[in-house]
Chains A and B, each alone.
Chain A
Amino acid sequence: MILYLLSIVLLVLLAPILLSYIKATKMVLLFKRPISIFQGYRNFAKLMHKETIISKETSAITSYAPFLVLSPLIVTMFFLPPIVVGSYYVSFVDAFTITGLISLSTFFLMLLGLDSASAFGGMGSSREAFISALVEPAMVLTIFSVSLMAGNLGVGQAGVNLAEHFPKEHMASFLFAGISFFILLIAENGRIPVDNPETHLELTMVHEAMILDLTGVYLAIIESAASIKFIIFASLFASLFMPFGLEFSAPIAILIFIVKLFIIATAVALLEVNTAKLRLFKIPNLLGLAIVFAFLSLITFYVLGA
């Protein structure tokens, strides 16, 4: 139980570091002087000290939504597969619930965007709605497909099962699901070909546009929600698609898990450096790919059993 809580706290703490790490890696690759990987914390601390400015166009939604954006994600953290064998985990929560919780968070984020009455907020919400509408089916399908392979619809249990018995006979489905999930990871977290978190350019931004009018603590909450979302996706990917290293003793297993997370982050950074941001209306091509792979994975499993 302690291990369980500890790992959650660890992941929450790791979240800002991971995002800063991606940024730093990118800067290194672009021959810039990298930022510190603790930049996330610095930003957080800075924002926490600022006063909150609420624009007068907004309504009650703005004062509640940030918490409602964060809380489903925090709840989700409790449902992730274990990172160490023997630690407590919530075995039974399935893909639909996890996707639902993430969607709940996105739902309020989009409302937040629309609440400020600015063109940017609406634009961001509109794009986010578009992207998440395409992401959700793919995500549900992917996780379901993987959990079916693992023999249990509960994601936590699926992670454990996969670690114990890797589904070699379903390699094809597994691979498809993996590709799909990685695309989703990029799309849902607003990484480069889908969104560019670093610019505030109206043509490109999605996530940043929605939170353009937030300041202070609210912004801090939203930023940490974003980083937690990334860590959720990353750890899901790590548990479901890299199911090894759990059987070691706790410190080593945790270390292995952190390494996995950093590998994923590096992959994302590499991808970001090497691709250009897609036009908004090209995004469906990418997400369509994710949906197709997710669907393929499910149907391959269903029909061919492969």
Chain B
Amino acid sequence: MFIFDTLSLVFVALILFGAIPNIFYSTGYLPHIQRKTHYQLHYFAFIFSMIGVVVSANALVFLFFWELMSLTSWQLILTEAKEKSTIEAARFYFIMTHFGFVFLLLFFLIITDGNLDIDFASMKLIASHFAYPTLLFFFLLLGFLSKAGAVPLHVWLPYAHPAAPSPVSALMSGVMLKVAIYGMFRFLFDVLYPWPLEWGITILTLGALSSLIGVLYALSEHDIKALLANHSIENIGIILIGFGMGMIFDTLGLYTLSTFAFIAALFHTFNHMSFKSLLFMSAGAVLHQTHTKNMEKYGGLIKVMPITALAFLIAAISISALPPSNGFLSEWMIFQSMLSSSHIDNISLKLAIPFAIFALAMTGGLAIACFVKAYGITFLGLHRSTNAKHAHEVNFWMKSGMVLMAFVVLSLMLFTPFYIEWFDKVLVGLGRNSVYGQIFPNGIWNMHSVGINGGIVSPLILFISLLGVTALMMFAYKVFGVKTRVHNAWACGYKTSAKTQYTATGFAGPIRRFFNWLYKPDEHFEKQTIAGHETKFSSSSYEVHVKPLFEKVFYRSVAKAVNFMSYWVYRLAHFEQTRYSAMIFNIMLIVLFSYRVFSNEFSWATFVLEFIVMMISVKILIIGDRK
């Protein structure tokens, strides 16, 4: 019924690392919530079901907990359903997760042959006899990636995560998405092994696309939680790049590199859990104080909420993959694994991998820009609204949640070798050789890439030297005893006020302009000019809304099609009000005819005859003459 191998335990640890600080935070958040019982019940059931998913050892239990996880998270989004958008987001989330579940269900049904309580080994046996493994792979992919939020199944994330209460956003984005990653590890290794090359390339491509698209949409977002949600898409993309590389190397027989890439993916999974939870927590703290998710209404919060601001800064550095943070280390590993592929002799890989490298590099640059925006607009400068003015630091429990999570982030940064050793054990548990010795050949100081002529990074040295140089300089500054005076900002002589600051929209302006072809933004510009002068105006407002391309292409059109279909079905069904006997007559005719045609000797002639007779009969008896 349950399994407790290293993989499961590592993910249990991941969930606990994500959940325990979150429980503290949630305790502090609780007074803010009206339906406390509802919230508490689903909150703990949610955590419980996530643990249930990662330790379940058969399909029945897995699917049960999986659906329970969806159900509880859906209810959690609805905890504070005061706005229509929240309700819609919850609905959208639930239908998307159900969509994924459909494919998961099919996947499990095929690999279990209907006996849902068999173990993974037997599943593997059945799967190996199945004639179309790629079909299984795609079912699995659709099932898990719709939960993980990879492109093009990512659309629900920027709606669902902001709508949930902040502790829940942190859990959903930080932890729940990882459960899907667990699913990929578990079932690709334990059931669908070995993998054809195409599978790895598919995952690599999806990962590269997700990372780019996620960060691009994050940049154009003003809703702080939606911004973070879009970053989740990006990071899931990065994890998938690592995962895809691992699969590719495995197919090519380069097992050491493969293990390295998988460790990188796992490491990034952990990192993303830590910093994304922290980001959502601090964003939630800001939201809690200012009662708005709109970044344009923040500003200057670092002065009143120093701990929140520090927590956000740590997480922002980490998610932007700046050295020496943990986010940097895992991305470094993924880069190294990709670069070790230079001597592979396969043209499709030679084309795919540089693109993935490019996507990852591009993502890194854009992520920095995005987090400068998020941090700068939220915490720096002057407050932009009265809400921000009256904000103050959150209560003790929320603070302690953030501090604990910050410790998780820092521990991932400082104890990297320890974690890597642990992830290495996971891979050993999945039947690989240990590569820990190759990653840390001489002590914990230098982390080596396992590729030929691979690079080396030394997280601790970097950290210490950065800290040391900065401390030294600050010490020198103190020793010098420079005279300091506080005065109004100069700003070329203009008066500084909250209104003269750059807005989030303005900050992202240049990048948005560059990616206009993707965003297709909807711009509204209104200006009250004075006496017809173009340059003199009393007030002006500028709004820009980015059109979600994927949503439009995939989802709106599906909704339209369903609507269209239902309209026609509805019209058709209303015939039965008046023509029920004719309906029954015709269905009898069809059934008997078909039995006659198919039961006995089948021939096309009779089939065509049946068809024609049926058409005539339907026309005369049901549709009738046009009045």
Q: A-side interface residues toward B, CB under 8 Å? A: 51-61, 64, 67-68, 70-72, 74-75, 78, 92-94, 96-97, 100-101, 103-104, 106-107, 110-111, 113-123, 125-127, 129-130, 132-138, 140-141, 144, 147-148, 151-154, 200, 202, 212-213, 216-217, 221, 280-281, 284, 295, 298-299, 301-303
CB pair A114 B487 closer than 8 Å: no
A265 to chain B, nearest CB (A): 26
8 more A-B residue pairs beyond the given contacts A68-B470, A118-B500, A126-B510, with a C-beta to C-beta distance below 8 A: A67-B470, A113-B376, A117-B300, A122-B376, A123-B502, A129-B372, A213-B491, A298-B358
Please tell me if B501 contacts chain A, counting CB pairs below 8 Å: yes
CB pair B377 A97 closer than 8 Å: no
CB pair A122 B491 closer than 8 Å: no
Please tell me if B361 contacts chain A, counting CB pairs below 8 Å: yes
Contact of A71 among B299, B306, B336, B470 (CB under 8 A): B470
A56-B486, A107-B372, A130-B510 known; A72 and B466 CB under 8 Å? yes
CB pair A153 B455 closer than 8 Å: yes
CB pair B368 A52 closer than 8 Å: no
Q: B-side interface residues toward A, CB under 8 Å? A: 299-300, 302-303, 306, 317, 320-323, 328, 331-332, 335-336, 339, 342, 347, 350-351, 353-354, 357-358, 361-362, 364-366, 368-369, 371-373, 375-377, 379-382, 446, 449, 451, 453-458, 462, 465-466, 469-470, 473-474, 477, 480, 482-492, 494, 496, 498, 500-502, 506-511, 513-514
Q: Please, which residues of chain A bring their CB within 8 A of the CB of B322?
A: 100, 103-104, 107
Contact of B368 among A97, A129, A138, A280 (CB under 8 A): A129
Give Cα A96 to B299, complex, Å: 32
A114-B380, A126-B502 known; A144 and B357 CB under 8 Å? yes
Q: Chain A at the B interface: mostly helix, strand, loop or mixed?
A: helix
Give Cα A153 to B455, complex, Å: 5
A59-B300, A68-B470, A298-B354 known; A54 and B484 CB under 8 Å? yes
Q: Please, which residues of chain B bring their CB within 8 A of the CB of A295?
A: 354, 358
Those 5 A-B pairs whose CB atoms lie nearest each other, nearest first: A122-B502, A94-B455, A114-B376, A136-B365, A92-B456
Give Cα A284 to B516, complex, Å: 13
CB pair B336 A116 closer than 8 Å: no
CB pair B483 A153 closer than 8 Å: no
Q: Please, which residues of chain A bring their CB within 8 A of the CB of B366?
A: 133
A74-B469, A100-B321 known; A298 and B456 CB under 8 Å? no
CB pair A59 B302 closer than 8 Å: yes
CB pair B473 A70 closer than 8 Å: yes
CB pair B496 A126 closer than 8 Å: no
CB pair B487 A60 closer than 8 Å: no
Give Cα A101 to B465, complex, Å: 12
B323 to chain A, nearest CB (A): 4
CB pair B496 A154 closer than 8 Å: no
Q: Please, which residues of chain B bring their CB within 8 A of the CB of A78?
A: 465
13 sampled A-B residue pairs with Cβ under 8 A = A52-B483, A54-B486, A57-B381, A59-B302, A75-B466, A92-B458, A113-B376, A117-B496, A118-B491, A119-B491, A126-B510, A133-B511, A134-B514
CB pair A51 B361 closer than 8 Å: no
Give Cα A119 to B496, complex, Å: 8
Give Cα A74 to B500, complex, Å: 35
CB pair A59 B380 closer than 8 Å: yes
Q: Please, which residues of chain B bring their CB within 8 A of the CB of A299?
A: 350-351, 354
How many A-B pairs with Cβ below 8 Å? Answer: 266
A147 to chain B, nearest CB (A): 8
Q: Please, which residues of chain B bring their CB within 8 A of the CB of A213?
A: 489-491
CB pair A57 B470 closer than 8 Å: no
Q: Please, which residues of chain A bring their CB within 8 A of the CB of B368?
A: 103, 106-107, 129, 132-133, 136
CB pair A60 B302 closer than 8 Å: yes
Residue of B nearest to A136 (CB): B365
CB pair B507 A94 closer than 8 Å: no
Q: Please, which residues of chain B bring their CB within 8 A of the CB of A64?
A: 474
B451 to chain A, nearest CB (A): 8
CB pair A75 B469 closer than 8 Å: yes
Residue of A nearest to B498 (CB): A117
A96-B332, A127-B510 known; A136 and B380 CB under 8 Å? no
Contact of B509 among A51, A111, A126 (CB under 8 A): A126
Give Cα A74 to B470, complex, Å: 10
Give Cα A58 to B376, complex, Å: 12
CB pair A60 B365 closer than 8 Å: no
> Which of B365, B375, B470, B490 has the largest count of A CB atoms less than 10 A from its CB?
B365
Give Cα A117 to B377, complex, Å: 10
CB pair A93 B354 closer than 8 Å: no
A126-B509, A140-B361 known; A303 and B351 CB under 8 Å? yes
CB pair B372 A51 closer than 8 Å: no
Q: Please, which residues of chain A bring their CB within 8 A of the CB of B462?
A: 75, 97, 101
A144 to chain B, nearest CB (A): 6
CB pair B320 A103 closer than 8 Å: yes
B63 to chain A, nearest CB (A): 40
A122-B501, A136-B361 known; A116 and B457 CB under 8 Å? no
Contact of B469 among A60, A71, A110, A152 (CB under 8 A): A71
CB pair A212 B490 closer than 8 Å: yes
Contact of A51 among B299, B483, B490 (CB under 8 A): B483
Q: Please, which residues of chain A bring their CB within 8 A of the CB of B487?
A: 53-56
> Which of A61, A153, A217 has the largest count of B CB atoms less than 10 A from its CB?
A153
